[in-house]
């Protein structure tokens, strides 16, 4: 951006290399560099370049936004995932995780259950409780894209724990937590992460619906991906961090629209006009 002196828009120059020329004819301008924004001046007595965190007041404000158009898990599939979590909790007292992938070839959503280790704590009295679940993202074929994940918190609340927030920072997509498994329905907590920013979301952005868990539908091979071990920590992370803790402000941005069908009604001036119309999502 580089406007004349009579324009309301300030002159902003981009420094793209050491050879970028210094605009000597500008008495005042901004320089956007790899080191941040600078205020620059030329006058009779000095030429200056000073870092600033104050952006040009002539610029319009912008709020973060995220508009989602994820394909949705069929209700029965989602209920099977919850059934899987329920069985793993019942048998192993452990958390479990399922990855949500998009198959570019078939145009369908697919679940991938990675090899995983449920970390549990065991008290002297023999009481076993879940701590966390560890897994590596498997190498996926080029036509398979990871778009999200679901994991359980067994009977703890559904929320983004500090471990979840750290794990998901560099993993863009939908992150769904299923907690309070002793209840039916259990508790759901859904968020979308992009470029390290978390957006609150409703479970309906990724699941078509939920009535009851279906452990009877769980493929046997899913259970073969689970092993457990007793962790070192004698204290559950849930004892250290509660969802109402001030430290657990993981979901700090509202999703502009939880569903693209609602998008036109939900957009505000932060969303460019060209993004206000799109195709609708579909149940898969
Ligand atoms: Zn978690």
The total domain count for the chain is 2
Whether 244 maps to a domain, the answer reads: no
Query: What's the 229 CA to ligand 1 centre distance in angstroms?
Result: 17
- Do 199 and 263 belong together in one domain? yes
Q: Which stretch of 79-93, 139-153, 171-185, 237-251 has the lowest confidence by average pLDDT?
A: 237-251
Element (H, E) at 85: helix 75-92
Which residues sit with Cβ closer than 5 angstroms to ligand 1, an ion?
161, 164
* Contact in structure between 66 and 192 (CB atoms under 8 Å): yes
* Contact in structure between 199 and 258 (CB atoms under 8 Å): no
Residue 181 has pLDDT above 90, yes or no: yes
Query: What's the 260 CA to ligand 1 centre distance in angstroms?
Result: 27
- Do 20 and 157 belong together in one domain? no
- Do 49 and 109 belong together in one domain? no
191 vs 179: CA distance, rounded Å: 14
Query: What's the 55 CA to ligand 1 centre distance in angstroms?
Result: 38
For residue range 122-131, list pLDDT tens digits in order. Answer: 888 878 889 9
Query: What's the 156 CA to ligand 1 centre distance in angstroms?
Result: 9
Whether 281 maps to a domain, the answer reads: no
**Dihedral angle over CA of 129, 233, 118, 152, nearest 10:** 60
Q: Which stretch of 91-100, 145-154, 209-218, 239-248 has the lowest confidence by average pLDDT?
A: 239-248
Which of these three, 14, 35, 59, is where a domain ends?
59
91 vs 223: CA distance, rounded Å: 10
Residues of the domain holding 103 = 75-238+249-275
281: closest CA among 143, 105, 107, 106? 107
Going by pLDDT thresholds of 50, 70 and 90, the confidence category of residue 186 is very high
- Do 133 and 263 belong together in one domain? yes
Would the pTM of this model clear 0.75, i.e. be above it? yes
Going by pLDDT thresholds of 50, 70 and 90, the confidence category of residue 241 is very low
Q: List Cβ neighbours of 128 (8 Å cut-off, separation of 6 or more).
A: 93, 120, 121, 122
């Amino acid at each position: 951006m580089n406007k004349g002196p009579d324009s309301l828009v300030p002159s902003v120059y981009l420094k793209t290399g050491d050879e970028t020329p210094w605009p000597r004819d500008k008495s005042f301008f901004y320089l956007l560099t790899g080191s941040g924004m600078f205020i620059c001046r030329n006058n009779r007595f000095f030429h200056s370049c000073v870092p600033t965190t104050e952006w040009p007041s002539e610029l319009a404000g912008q709020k973060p936004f995220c508009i989602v158009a994820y394909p949705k898990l069929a209700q029965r599939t989602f209920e099977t995932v919850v059934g899987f979590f329920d069985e793993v909790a019942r048998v192993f007292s452990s958390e479990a995780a399922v990855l949500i992938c998009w198959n570019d070839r078939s145009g369908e959503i697919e679940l991938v259950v990675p090899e995983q280790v449920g970390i549990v704590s065991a008290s002297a009295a023999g009481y076993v409780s879940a701590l966390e679940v560890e897994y590596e993202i498997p190498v996926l074929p080029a036509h398979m894209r990871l778009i999200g994940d679901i994991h359980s918190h067994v009977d703890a609340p559904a929320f983004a724990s500090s471990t979840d927030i750290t794990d998901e920072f560099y993993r863009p997509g939908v992150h769904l937590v299923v907690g309070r498994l002793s209840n039916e329905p259990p508790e759901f907590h859904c968020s979308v992460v992009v470029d390290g920013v978390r957006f609150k979301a409703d479970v309906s952005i990724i699941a078509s619906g939920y009535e009851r868990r279906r452990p009877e539908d769980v493929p046997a091979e899913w259970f073969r991906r689970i092993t457990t071990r007793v962790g070192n920590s004698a204290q559950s992370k849930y004892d250290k961090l509660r969802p109402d803790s001030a430290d657990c402000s993981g979901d700090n941005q509202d999703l502009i629209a939880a569903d693209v069908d609602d998008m036109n009604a939900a957009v505000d001036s932060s969303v460019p006009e060209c993004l206000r119309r799109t195709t609708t999502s579909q149940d898969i």
